[in-house]
Amino acid sequence: MTLLIDIGNSRTKYIFSTCIEKEKCKVINNRQLTVNWLEENFYSVKKIILANVSKSSLTNVIEQWAEQKNIALQVIVSEQKRFGITSFYQQPKQLGIDRWLAILAVANLYAEKNALIIDAGTATTIDLLSSQGQHLGGWILPGINLMFDSLLTQTSRIDAQREIVASLEFGANTSENVNSACWAATIGAIELAINQATKQLNNLDVIIITGGNAENIKALLSTKVLIEDNLIFHGLQRYNSI
């Protein structure tokens, strides 16, 4: 059995390779990722494929346990070229591994399509992929919560509470103003990205969104988009054949 693990900035997501199509991934806080936790939950695992954008010490924990249990471990890093897909980055390893995996996943799930890929998590990332498999670069901006928190921590007289409902409405108080503005900035950036991508490629075949804020963003956009919950894991799964 192959276990796919995606370690993010604060949370670790995981799923078994056989469950990608039918289940959502499970999530734990990074602090829970210990040898004891691995032993309790994954005693039957034969192989692990790992992506990590957080501390290298978390990779070390998994490496230590995998070595003790004689479990095969692949640690995936961003590359210049793989599976016929070419990175736009001059220094490929600087492209976040989550972005690289999302690109590989979309190239496989939506073959030969001009695609805009949006990952709406701690940061909101936008990447453009041509139908020929060429990554054409992208944008990185703060995610909704990060944008909200940065405004409050960098100012002394803005007092706001995070709202549950995503909205573009003009607010009647400071909390509503800040919350709506964070959504408006994100939606505005995505709509500009759609225009830029269409201009650059003449046509855009598909727009894919993944990440914790995907549903809210889809509801606020006027353009048709598709949500792929396990996009990063589809990318990791491609390495299972190597």
Q: Which two tokens stand for residue 170?
A: 């003009």
Instruction: Decide: helix, strand or coil at residue 199.
Output: helix
At residue 211's C-alpha, the angle toward residues 233 and 102, to 5°, is 45
- Provide Rg for the chain, Cα atoms: 19
Residue 43 makes CB contacts below 8 A (sequence gap 6+) with none
Catalytic residue from among 98, 119, 159, 205 = 98
Strand partners, 15: 4
149 labelled catalytic: no
Asked if 117 and 106 count as a contact pair (C-beta separation under 8 A), the reply is: yes
Q: How far is CA 30 from CA 5, 19, 34, 144, in A?
A: 12, 22, 9, 21
Residue 157 makes CB contacts below 8 A (sequence gap 6+) with none
Asked if 221 and 193 count as a contact pair (C-beta separation under 8 A), the reply is: no
At residue 87's C-alpha, the angle toward residues 84 and 88, to 5°, is 135
Distance from C-alpha of 107 to C-alpha of 129, rounded to nearest angstrom: 8
- Residue 132 has φ and ψ, to the nearest 5°, of -90, 5
Tell me which residues are annotated as active site: 98
